[in-house]
Amino acid sequence: MNKASHTQTTTMPAIAELVPHAAPMLLIDRVCDAGPDHLQAEVTIQQTSMFFEKGYGVPTYVGIEYIAQAVAAYGGWRAKSADPAAVPRIGYLLGTRKMTMTRDWFEPGTRLNIYVENVFEDGEMGVFKGEIRDENDVIVAAQINVYQPGDTAATPASSHTTHNQETTTP
């Protein structure tokens, strides 16, 4: 990913204004940069970080959630750019076909840069390329598939039907 060509100079909203998570599950610290097709965020690994294991740090497989939250922040940033009163909307990480990790742990005290790029979008579905770097070293790389439902606030809750194999109707 070429981050140098993606520069937008604006003040970024607080991460809690962009991502529909609250502590302790709000895992990334802040958004550093965003543009029409990308976002850069940061997280510093601390002993108080969720999933931290004493003597090791945070397992690198948690990186998929860091990338997913950066994608959520991208969605929140786009919404706020269009309407400053917009609130973060729920989205879902559907999965990844390929995720590579060059280490087992994100070490304590490490400031990680999380880069996401919008590769494909089709209504409610999207594909994003993500990288987590420690300076110039790529630690995690993944392409993730996400889903963000349309405006469910406009549809009454009673009209939502759940079909579950374990549920039977008399």
Residue pair 54/48 in contact by the 8 Å Cβ criterion? no
- Domains of the chain as residue ranges with CATH: 15-151 (3.10.129.10)
DSSP bridge partners of 38: 35, 117
Per-residue pLDDT band at 11 (split at 50, 70, 90) = confident
pTM of the model: 0.83
Q: CB-based contacts of 103: which residues, under 8 Å, 6+ apart?
A: 60, 139
Q: What tokens were used for 101?
A: 């990790």
State mean pLDDT over 63-78: 95
Per-residue pLDDT band at 97 (split at 50, 70, 90) = confident
Q: What tokens were used for 141?
A: 């790389």
Residue among 113, 141, 147 nearest 127 (CA): 147
Helix (H, G, I), strand (E, B) or coil at 77: helix
Among all chains, which residue has been given the structure tokens 């965003």? 34
Q: Which pLDDT belongs to residue 168?
A: 38
Return d(Cα 96, Cα 58) in angstroms, integer.
20
Among all chains, which residue has been given the structure tokens 């970024």? 12
Instruction: For the chain, give the mean pLDDT.
Output: 86
DSSP bridge partners of 134: 137
Helix (H, G, I), strand (E, B) or coil at 154: helix
pLDDT one-digit tens code per residue, 127-146: 999 999 999 899 999 999 99
Task: Write the DSSP assignment of 48-87 as a string of letters.
Answer: TSTT-BTTTBEEGGGHHHHHHHHHHHHHHHHHHHH-TT--
pLDDT at 152 over 60: no
Return d(Cα 150, Cα 131) in angstroms, integer.
27
Q: What tokens were used for 165?
A: 């194999």
